[in-house]
Amino acid sequence: MKFIFYLFSFYCLLFINFVVGEEKHLDLPMTPVTANPLGVSSDEFVVPITVLNGKELNIQRGINIGETLSSTPGVTFTNWGPTVARPVIRGLDGDRIRILQNGVNFLDVSSFSADHSVPIDPLIIEQIDVIRGPATLIYGGGAVGGVVNAIDHRIPKEAVTGFTGRAETRAGGYNSERSSAVVMDVGNDQFAIHFDAYTKTTGNLNIPGYAVSKKLARSDSSISRSQYGKNKLNNSGQDTEGGAIGTSFFLEKGYIGVSYAMHDSQFGNPLQSSGYFDLKMNRWDIHSELHDLDGFFNHFKLKLAHTDYQHQEIESGGDVGTEFKNRGLDGTIELGHHAIAGSSGVVGLQFENTFFQQPVGDALLPNSNTNSQSIYIYEELPIEEHKITFGLRRGNHDVRRSAFVGDGGCTTIYSTAVGCGASPNVGEEDAPEFGDIEKSFQTNNASVGGVYKINDSFAITSNLTHSERAPAFFELFPYGSHHATETVQKGNENLSTELSNSIDFQLKWNPGSHHFSIGPYYTRFNRFIGLFNTGSELYHLHDGESQAEALDVYQYQQVGASFKGIEFDGRFQVNNQLAWLFRGDYVRARQSNGDDLPRISPLRIGTSIDYQKNAFFARLDVLRAFNQNDIGSNELSTPAYTNITAYASYKLPLEYNLEFFMKGYNLLDQEIRDHASLMKDKIPMGGRSVLFGLRGEF
């Protein structure tokens, strides 16, 4: 497959030179931030948003999307080895965080489990928008925690005359990474074609010391510190490749385009000595926009995506132990209208239909179908230099389950010789039968916000949101062992719609070369849906094992909860060569009874120094994460750490704008464990390492 991609790239270059004849360097326009359908700039938003593109994205690009966003205030990730890292925003994860690609939902199963990767490679991404806080109005009731939108220009929105592209190759780092990517666009005034391809191979993750933490080894005598590795994390390499081709036809007042993308990744399971995951995804997208229309509506937007996703867990002998499939269609139709009494806005329809299957493996999830439709309206009313925003959303969500038999395990340890229920180790099977069922939920979301300009440099923004989220199928229906995470997960089909009310404030200072923002927030949940460690264990005998292993039992429950915190970031330009950057975040999450919620990151404070002179650039970054002792039931505390990274680049004096760069990770070689990760006491972050790379534009 890699050979085919590179060969295709070569022929594309030959075709370009033959048809176009003359190379032209073009700067593709940056896509406007997507949290606002009216396309305003980020400093006019009423919700906290971070936009990564250009040079800053080049500096932050990691091996996965979670690592790429780790320097964004309020954002951590569910670390499960170097391949798997789903973003966590303000302590909220799972279905509350929407992962989008070009504004359309990513229909994988990464929100279900910590071992499921997000099939997006950062090397081909051109821009990432991160909305911190509720974005339910535009993106649905599920986006209670925030939105991550990865933009890749696979469907060109602007005409390209000539051709343009970029390429990057990297080697080294904490897992001996070897990766490459190429992105190209070619076209004329009427057509544009996009092509990208990427490949990545890594070895086992280098770690500072033992994989298992001291606290876990002390609390559980059955686990040794070297069980999952010493100095290297066992079975944590990956082999990934993928790419896409897309095309657009430009009309007098817009465009229509289509793209096809594939992603194929095999990566090891660090909690098992052998075996691996095999992830495959195929996705078709259709986008169209029309603008400057006559009549009441002046703008039309259509976005459709069909996803076919497969995740297999391969045993050491090569057999498929577990398989998950998710196939679905997600789309949005949006109409923008001319100003009415000064107010501009949009009305939209969003729909999603997905079908999940687990055709292979121990019972964990039944076949499920989710069908959702929502209508929404969003308006902005300028009042001199200020602005008020408001909107409403109404949704209907149907979730159907097919009959299945759960498999939680056995109440007593047993072996192949002595089964559950056999003498002398008599136990009770935890295997309830479930019938067909359909659950329906209606959600109502509302938001009102505003921007108040104090003067040319200062502004205050605020947003008040009421959000309702329907439970996901993996919160309602699971019942069984999941060996990849060494847990038994139990759903709750009696879950109700999750309700929350949120308020955000931000003070922004932007006099030109400097900027600073700080903002507190508060969210109050009624019937918060959480996955809680029950403190009990069930024993399960997996294929190829001689003795049942003890698995912690986690169950979805609803509780009252509150999240409060503060975020800040800024940049101060000392002189033409030197800049000082700083950031920080803190969140405290509690149940209504006063108990702390699990997997909430501690206070983090970071600072950076940038230096640039001519073609040379360097950054030194220090992040301090404090102890996390505010922990949930049956959870271990996490010690503080200091993570120092460094980045340097030099633009070579060559025709194609080549840039050599290097990045140093965890320079103090500290044992870093992120409290937001379910596997933090078994899988640490990578140790001290240096990555080298070369990127260029043509």
Reported as a single tens digit per residue, the pLDDT across 255-275 is 999 999 999 999 998 988 888
pLDDT digits 0-9 by tens, 64-77? 999 999 999 999 98
Q: How far apart are CA 289 and CA 157, in angstroms?
A: 9
pLDDT digits 0-9 by tens, 164-193? 999 999 999 999 999 999 999 999 989 999
Is the pTM value of this prediction over 0.95?
A: no
- Amino acid identity for residue 651 in this structure: K
pLDDT of residue 24: 39
Among the listed residues 441, 300, 437, 309, the one whose alpha carbon sits nearest the alpha carbon of residue 373: 441
Number of Cα atoms under 13 Å in the Cβ half of residue 402:
12
Q: Which two tokens stand for residue 210?
A: 């033992």
Average pLDDT value for the chain: 89
Q: If you write DSSP's letter for every residue of 208-239 in order, what string do you get?
A: EEESS-HHHHHH-TT--TTTT-EEEETT--EE
> Average pLDDT for residues 630-634, to the nearest whole number?
90
Residue range of the domain that includes 215: 2-697
Q: How far apart are CA 406 and CA 642, in angstroms?
A: 44
Q: How far apart are CA 464 and CA 449, in angstroms?
A: 6
pLDDT of residue 39: 63
Per-residue confidence band for 656, with pLDDT thresholds at 50, 70 and 90 = confident
pLDDT score of 30 more than 80: no
pLDDT digits 0-9 by tens, 312-362? 988 877 888 888 999 999 999 999 999 998 899 999 999 999 999 998 888
Q: Which two tokens stand for residue 508?
A: 């922004």
Q: How far apart are CA 179 and CA 346, in angstroms?
A: 42
Q: How far apart are CA 76 and CA 79, in angstroms?
A: 9
Q: Pairing state of beta strands 97-101 and 146-151?
A: parallel
Per-residue confidence band for 16, with pLDDT thresholds at 50, 70 and 90 = very low
pLDDT digits 0-9 by tens, 452-494? 999 989 999 999 999 999 999 999 999 998 877 788 999 999 9
Q: How far apart are CA 556 and CA 206, in angstroms?
A: 34
pLDDT of residue 257: 97
Per-residue confidence band for 660, with pLDDT thresholds at 50, 70 and 90 = very high
More confident residue, 521 or 108: 521
pLDDT score of 446 more than 90: yes
Q: Residue 568: give its domain's CATH number.
A: 2.40.170.20
**Long-range contacts, 213-217 (Cβ 8 Å, 24+):** 213/636, 213/671, 213/673, 213/680, 213/681, 213/682, 213/684, 215/636, 215/637, 215/681, 216/636, 216/681, 216/682
Q: Picking from 15-19, 177-181, 643-647, which range would have the lowest pLDDT averaged per residue?
A: 15-19
pLDDT of residue 471: 95
Q: Which residue has the tokens 């975020």?
A: 567
pLDDT score of 602 more than 60: yes
pLDDT of residue 35: 54
- Helix-, strand-, coil-residue percentages of the chain, each rounded to 5: 5, 55, 35
What DSSP designation does 8 have? H
Per-residue confidence band for 29, with pLDDT thresholds at 50, 70 and 90 = very low
> Average pLDDT for residues 67-95, to the nearest whole number?
89
Q: How far apart are CA 170 and CA 244, in angstroms?
A: 20
pLDDT of residue 417: 82
pLDDT score of 288 more than 80: yes
Q: Which two tokens stand for residue 551?
A: 């698995």
Among the listed residues 135, 132, 96, 215, the one whose alpha carbon sits nearest the alpha carbon of residue 673: 215
The four Cα atoms 61, 518, 136, 263 give a dihedral, to 10 degrees, of 0
Q: How far apart are CA 7 and CA 21, in angstroms?
A: 21
Q: Which two tokens stand for residue 697?
A: 């534009």
Structurally, the chain folds into a number of domains equal to 1
pLDDT of residue 455: 93
| DSSP run (H or E) holding 9 | helix 2-19
Considering only CA atoms, give the Rg of the chain. 25
Angle at 95 between CA 312 and CA 181, to 5 degrees: 55
pLDDT digits 0-9 by tens, 350-400? 999 999 999 888 889 999 999 999 999 999 999 988 999 999 999 999 999
pLDDT score of 31 more than 50: no
Q: Is 571 exposed, middle or buried (0-12, 13-18, 19+ CB in 10 A)?
A: middle
Q: What b/e readout covers 461-485, taking b as 16+ CB neighbours within 10 angstroms?
A: bbbbbbbbbbbbbbbbbbbbbbbbb
Per-residue confidence band for 9, with pLDDT thresholds at 50, 70 and 90 = very low
> Average pLDDT for residues 647-657, to the nearest whole number?
89
Residue 46 backbone phi and psi in degrees, to 5: -90, -10
Q: If you write DSSP's letter for every residue of 590-610 in order, what string do you get?
A: EETTSPBPSS----EEEEEEE
pLDDT score of 109 more than 60: yes
> Average pLDDT for residues 277-297, to the nearest whole number?
94
- Amino acid identity for residue 661 in this structure: F
